[in-house]
Amino acid sequence: MSIFSSKNFKLLSSPLNLQNPITVQILGICSALAVTVKLKPAIVMGLSVMVVTAISNLVISAMRNYIPPRIRIIVQLVVVATMVILVDQLLRAFVYDVSKQLSVYVGLIITNCIIMGRLEAFAMGNKPWPSFVDGIGNGLGYAMILIVIGFIRELFGSGAVLGYNVVPKSFYDFGYINNGMMIMPTMALILVGVIIWIQRSFNKELIEKD
């Protein structure tokens, strides 16, 4: 199997839409609500999860035949925890202010259901390279939703994008006020709902039959 076969490409692209971890599998919602008040932490969080998922997938897949099934969860957790600590240290070293804003949520990547889900469902039964691609794909799918939500929340909640004020001052003079609801996690949940709504109206096969 070549490195960029169509099968591998599908691993990368399906989490972006039909298998999206947030909007279809409804995993990792908690962090998606918590870190998306501003766009920058959302991007950093998305990238961190992507790196952790991809490398954990790679490592676990490489040793999948040597892990005794009875203690596999412990082994997976050790690998994930190691990766999270590495990422946390890197963030503190290079983007300290964002690391401060993310606070406990970087550490909580360990408990992110997406990562455990991919390790259990994919890395334990596939070769290292596809596992790595699968990790990148799921991380991207997660990051994509975070970035969309973070963008909307920062734009309407703080009138800025990436910290730069984009709503012109004349708007405020006319009586425009930033929407305080956007700062609250409530609105993030509603935004996730809206994204799911839009996605399903384009992909009818996602709609459950009842």
Partner 1 sequence: MKSLRKFLDNKKPLFQKGGKLAKFGSTFGAIETFLFTPNHTSKSGVHIHDAIDLKRTMTVVILALVPAMLFGSWNIGYQNGLAFGIERGIIDNFIFGFLKLIPLLVVSYGVGLGIEFIAAQIRGHEVNEGYLVTGILIPLIMPVNIPLWMLALAVAFAVIFGKEIFGGTGYNIMNVALLARAFLFFAYPSQMSGDSVWIYDLPNKVPIDGFSGATPLGQIGQGAVSKMASFHDMFMGFIPGSIGETSIIAILIGAAILIFTGIGSWKIMLSVVLGTLSMGFLCNLFPLNDYMALPGYYHLVMGGFAFGTVFMATDPVTASHTEKGKWIYGFMIGVLVVLIRIFNPAYPEGMMLAILLMNVWSPLIDYFVVEGHIKRRMKKAKLKANA
- Please give the residue ranges that form the binding site for partner 1 (CB under 8 A): 175-177, 179-182, 184, 186, 190, 197
**Long-range contacts made by residues 163-172, C-beta under 8 angstroms, separation at least 24?**
163/38, 163/40
CB of 161 to partner 1, least distance (A): 20
CB of 117 to partner 1, least distance (A): 28
CB of 42 to partner 1, least distance (A): 21
CB of 73 to partner 1, least distance (A): 36
Nearer to partner 1, 90 or 190 (CB): 190
The closest of 18, 51, 27 to 140, measured between CA atoms, is: 51
Instruction: Render 134-197 in DSSP notation, one character per residue.
Output: HHHHHHHHHHHHHHHHHHHHHHHHHSEETTEE-S-HHHHHTT----GGGGSHHHHHHHHHHHHH
Length of the chain: 210
Nearer to partner 1, 43 or 187 (CB): 187
Nearer to partner 1, 167 or 184 (CB): 184
d(CA 85, CA 44): 15
Fill in the DSSP letter of residue 42: H
| 45 in Cβ contact with 105 (< 8 Å) | yes
CB of 180 to partner 1, least distance (A): 5
Nearer to partner 1, 105 or 156 (CB): 156
Nearer to partner 1, 5 or 186 (CB): 186
